[in-house]
Structure 1
Amino acid sequence: MNLRGVGVSPGIGHGPSYVLTVSVPEPPEGATYTGEAEQEKERAMAALTQVAGELEARGNQAGGKAEEILKAQALMAEDPGVVVKVRSLIDRGLAAPRAVFEAFSKYRDVLAGSGGYLGERAADLGDIRDRVIALLYGQAMPGLPLAPERPYVLVARDLAPADTALLSRDDVAAFVTEEGGPTSHTAIMARAIGVPAVVGCPGATGIAAGVEVMVDGTSGEVRVAPADSDVADAVDAAAARRSALASWNGPGTTSDGHQVPLLANVGGPAELDAAVAAGAEGIGLFRTEFLYLDRSDPPSEEEQRRAYRAALEAFPREKVVVRTLDVGADKPLAFLPAPAEPNPALGERGLRRFMKSPGMMDVQLAALAAAAAEAGGAGLRVMAPMVATAEEATWFTRECADHGLSDVGVMIEVPAAALRAADLIAMVDFVSIGTNDLSQYAFAADRRLGAVSALHDPWQPGLLDLVAMTADAAARAGKPCGVCGESAADPALACVLVGLGVSSLSMAPSALAGVRAGLAAHSLEQCRAAAREARAQPSASDARTAALVHLPGLAGLGL
């Protein structure tokens, strides 16, 4: 039996299936308690606090990206709004488990209907809710195998970060989930530990426990009970591909010498070594949210300065693009309460939120300027997220200038920004396209939902049109236009993006070798021909097929 989903972490993984099923019962509707309300509220608060502590402890043990995610979940467990709702429901007579269920379910439904990053966090709230209820009932949450005899394929409807935070390649061969998309936490965690993963795979939880499964995290194919020879062939092909790619090094360039700097997306100082080791030619996206999300007070200028200086010192002769704080939607700050919004993904997110918090913005920009001065940071570039208009771009540029920051850019993530790219580019020094959010907003499709994952295929001709429009405007203005979305990590699509006029590509460090090899195997004209043909097609699959005709070198590289 073969299944197919969305490949989100490349490679071949195989092993016996372990199907994770969560069976925490829903507390009976209208369930009441005996005794005093205050005692019942204390019981609920103690459970919330314990779950929050367990999540934070797992994060501390896991480190890296998992630590950031789990500490954010710990904050969700003790969110003041949820706590108030739980206490209110208990005052109305509901037992603690039912009060927790209703309070979390209400917020979970709101998140699920909001789309984007916020929608992706709905599964996180469901997991927190179930952990608290299980604790109140004295019931253990379903766990993962301890010290398995061989790596297994983890199959689930969806995976919570708490389930996967402490996993390693020694335990798990691959992930397969029915829900989720390329930017879900399952995808992020799989890429972080380097295991193949397929999400949005209908029927996955129907796989029998213990049966052999082979997962292709590139194509999205999931093969149940494959022949031993097929597994051996796939593993050998993957090993040969890794060996071949390892021989490609040096700067990104096409076969005829057109230079395309290949940069790294970095989520914090802990990921800098991997970027350097992979041969990144700089940082195309340095996310700063890690400094803000897991705390009750904002980070000081000194703390921020140290983090930014670490990035500049890791790449002393290259460009380092730092994105200013991108909060709102699913990334709430405990010290900066968010306004009540019916759809936070379309509300005060990114730069809009920054503009409402001038004090916090001043500290970040001052820290960036100080780090650049100390590190001799001629390579520092600063960009703002979620910019929609030329007025916003102008405002941000002026704020940066007031702090002595001169190389300033904006992200193109909103369709309006791509449509009026020439106006925005006139106000800044460079632009960087975030194809993940640009796709979500262009196609009105929640990035979390497997049901609409086809609309998030980065080969969608409509998305390619928006990229081409932006790159053309930048070229006419003589300014750089990069891409830092997930699409840059696909060797074939990287060639197409270069053909569209993109001047640099930024991606996870693990993707650099494949993209470097793919570009080196083709001329700039081949890339342009592939881009023209892709844009001329009516669908994403047709666009990819048409482009590959002009990119024959990819097949020889196993890409």
Structure 2
Amino acid sequence: MEVLTGAGVSPGAGYGPAYLLRADVPEPAAGSRHGGDPVGEVARVEAAVERVAADLEERGETAGGEARDVLGAQALMARDPALASEVADLIAAGTSGERAVYEAFMRYRDTLAQAAGYLAERVADLDDVRDRVIAELLGLPSPGLPGDASEPYVLVARDLAPADTALLTKEVVAAFVTEQGGPTSHTAIIARALGVPAVVACAGATIIVNGTPVLVDGTTGMVALVPSEEEVSAALRSARDRESVLTSATGPGATADGHPVALLANVGGPGDLADAVSRGAEGVGLYRTEFLFLDRGQGPSEEEQEAAYREVLEAFPGRPVVVRVLDSGADKPLGFLPPTAEQPNPALGERGIRVFRTFTDVMVGQLRALARAAEGTEARLQVMAPMVATAAEARWFADACRAAGLPSAGVMIEIPAAALRAGELAAEADFFSIGTNDLAQYAFAADRQLGALTEFQDPWQPVLLDLVAMTAAADVPCGVCGEAGSDPAMACVLVGLGVDSLSMGAPALPWVRAALARHTLAQCRAAATAARAATTAEEARAAAREHLPGLADLAL
């Protein structure tokens, strides 16, 4: 069989005939002109935009959960006043409505693509809105999926729009495969929410011919074309065996000899709660509040923030809920804040807590909203600041939290300076949370968005493990909320380094719980020691696994 490889972003195995989704909305001809009535042409476009936005919202309400938030964000894209103004200007110059929509959206698309990170992964969403509006204007069917499939199929595409995937079920689609996308793309997010295996960043995926039998392993990233019956049976059986092992691991996180490890969920808002609760999250280790603020011309009111925060707090009575205050800057710019001086390297500029030094009122408003949201709930609210580098910054943030009536103030450890002086920061902060993604970026001077430097983002780099160990040795509770904690083998190593809690995307919780339950604290410590003694990430991973025999039960 021919095998393609990509990044597995939603675990499990799926098999079925390929259905290749191609864009079928034609590009309006360059230079096309309207009939001389610019006011009428603008009205025609506005009506089409509103029909598309309303349809997206209706789909979101039908799907519910995280899909509702995703599709609501797309509807906001469609109604963006800046895009509407640019379309109107083009029409005023004589351009047809269809072509004006195409050109305005493409300009905005280029801006997003250059931003990298979270914003770059919204390009597929914007393309979908554009195509739907143009289809409305041309009287064509909207882009979509087969509605009469006789068996579950493997959906293959260059990238997938949330409007297409939100209403799918496991009974309709066996797996997703895309050429583009990443772990935070909406294809990945919705696939995990549906429990459908998915592989993204799979080079050559769109050359797969419609109807080709395809086997997808969302754990390993394997995409096999025309596999044998034996290969399909073995893959599906292995997936079922893994699922059986996962479901047998229940209750609070702990090692085999009873050492407790709190297993928490990373969430971006209320839409993530159902999945986190269903998978046994013991609380929230990272509430990314920036999703309330992104893609807006005006910041959310304190009342709007309070309602969103309260919904998360009420979902975990008696449990910890760790909220990261607004982490803006770099790949997450905020349109409603006045522009600061141009920053040649935004990742090394004003971001995280540094933005709050300039816009203190934004932080104070958020802290007030959090304090009010916690009133009357039983959750243990903890608030932390991103991108803290010094003990002075930690003290400044802790004082602001106390002034707002928030009793527990912590800091993210994402900068090597903070890890190296963790003892000093511990004197000012109530807890630490290590963000392994940014800590690796700054430790290796390697942009986390640059594919050519991926090796330096590997959490198995022994130097990164050294920084984690130094941080965990400080005299405050210490958790990890970066992607590293979702790797079952790495989770064991982190516990061996002294970490008290692990926070991750909800789908990873059963895997990590099962891995910890199969190893003693002594085995975790031995694995950590062996990994730190290595000189490369590959050697560290291999050395650790020699001390973690229980991973074989999970087929990892």
TM-score scaled by length of structure 1: 0.88
Q: Secondary structure at the match of 2:46?
A: helix
Q: Letter of the aligned partner of 1:246 in structure 2?
A: T
Q: How does 1:503-514 map to 2 (within 5 A)?
A: 503-514=500-511
Residue 552 of structure 2 corresponds to: 555
Residue 125 of structure 1 corresponds to: 126
Residue 66 of structure 2 corresponds to: 65
How far residue 264 of structure 1 moved from its aligned partner, in angstroms, is 1.9
- Is 2:431 the partner of 1:430? yes
Whole-angstrom distance in 1 between the partners of 2:359 and 2:62: 33
Residue 154 of structure 1 corresponds to: 155
How far residue 91 of structure 1 moved from its aligned partner, in angstroms, is 2.7
Q: Letter of the aligned partner of 2:67 in structure 1?
A: A
Taking a change above 3 Å as real, the CA distance of residues 264 and 421 of structure 1, as seen in their structure-2 partners, is: same
Deviations 1:330-368 (A, max 9, x none): 767786677797889646655455555544433432232
Whole-angstrom distance in 2 between the partners of 1:410 and 1:101: 44
Whole-angstrom distance in 1 between the partners of 2:244 and 2:254: 20
Whether the 8 Å CA contact 1:309–1:374 is kept in 2: the answer is: no
Whether the 8 Å CA contact 1:435–1:483 is kept in 2: the answer is: yes
Taking a change above 3 Å as real, the CA distance of residues 172 and 419 of structure 1, as seen in their structure-2 partners, is: farther
Q: Letter of the aligned partner of 1:82 in structure 2?
A: L
Q: How does 1:267-286 map to 2 (within 5 A)?
A: 267-286=268-287
Taking a change above 3 Å as real, the CA distance of residues 435 and 83 of structure 1, as seen in their structure-2 partners, is: farther
Taking a change above 3 Å as real, the CA distance of residues 490 and 140 of structure 1, as seen in their structure-2 partners, is: same
- Is 2:487 the partner of 1:483? no
Q: Letter of the aligned partner of 2:103 in structure 1?
A: E
- Is 2:527 the partner of 1:530? yes
Whole-angstrom distance in 1 between the partners of 2:436 and 2:178: 23
Whole-angstrom distance in 2 between the partners of 1:262 and 1:396: 26
User: What are the ranges of 5 or more consecutive residues in structure 1 without an aligned counterpart?
Assistant: none
How far residue 119 of structure 1 moved from its aligned partner, in angstroms, is 1.8
- Is 2:153 the partner of 1:178? no
Give RMSD over aligned pairs.
3.1
Taking a change above 3 Å as real, the CA distance of residues 120 and 388 of structure 1, as seen in their structure-2 partners, is: farther
Q: Secondary structure at the match of 1:263?
A: strand
Deviations 1:117-158 (A, max 9, x none): 122222222222222223222222331111422211111111
Q: Letter of the aligned partner of 1:546 in structure 2?
A: A
How far residue 252 of structure 1 moved from its aligned partner, in angstroms, is 1.9
Residue 32 of structure 2 corresponds to: 31
Whole-angstrom distance in 1 between the partners of 2:202 and 2:456: 15
How far residue 68 of structure 1 moved from its aligned partner, in angstroms, is 1.5
Residue 410 of structure 2 corresponds to: 409
Q: Secondary structure at the match of 1:374?
A: coil
Residue 265 of structure 2 corresponds to: 264
Residue 366 of structure 2 corresponds to: 364
Q: Secondary structure at the match of 1:15?
A: strand
Whole-angstrom distance in 2 between the partners of 1:337 and 1:172: 45
How far residue 297 of structure 1 moved from its aligned partner, in angstroms, is 6.8
Residue 76 of structure 2 corresponds to: 75
- Is 2:139 the partner of 1:142? no
Whole-angstrom distance in 2 between the partners of 1:454 and 1:294: 28
Taking a change above 3 Å as real, the CA distance of residues 38 and 300 of structure 1, as seen in their structure-2 partners, is: closer
Residue 467 of structure 2 corresponds to: 469
Residue 376 of structure 2 corresponds to: 374
Residue 243 of structure 1 corresponds to: 244
Taking a change above 3 Å as real, the CA distance of residues 12 and 496 of structure 1, as seen in their structure-2 partners, is: same
Q: Letter of the aligned partner of 1:262 in structure 2?
A: L
How far residue 426 of structure 1 moved from its aligned partner, in angstroms, is 4.1
Q: Letter of the aligned partner of 2:369 in structure 1?
A: A
Q: How does 1:48-447 map to 2 (within 5 A)?
A: 48-289=49-290, 301=302, 304-327=305-328, 346=347, 350-354=352-356, 356-377=358-379, 379-388=380-389, 390-413=391-414, 417-418=418-419, 421=422, 424-439=425-440, 444-445=446-447, 447=449
Residue 546 of structure 1 corresponds to: 543
Whole-angstrom distance in 2 between the partners of 1:426 and 1:470: 18
Residue 498 of structure 1 corresponds to: 495
Deviations 1:191-217 (A, max 9, x none): 111111111111111111111111111
Q: Letter of the aligned partner of 2:470 in structure 1?
A: D
User: What are the ranges of 5 or more consecutive residues in structure 2 without an aligned counterpart?
Assistant: none
Whole-angstrom distance in 2 between the partners of 1:386 and 1:455: 23
Q: Secondary structure at the match of 1:262?
A: strand
How far residue 296 of structure 1 moved from its aligned partner, in angstroms, is 7.7
Whole-angstrom distance in 2 between the partners of 1:392 and 1:104: 41
Taking a change above 3 Å as real, the CA distance of residues 225 and 239 of structure 1, as seen in their structure-2 partners, is: same
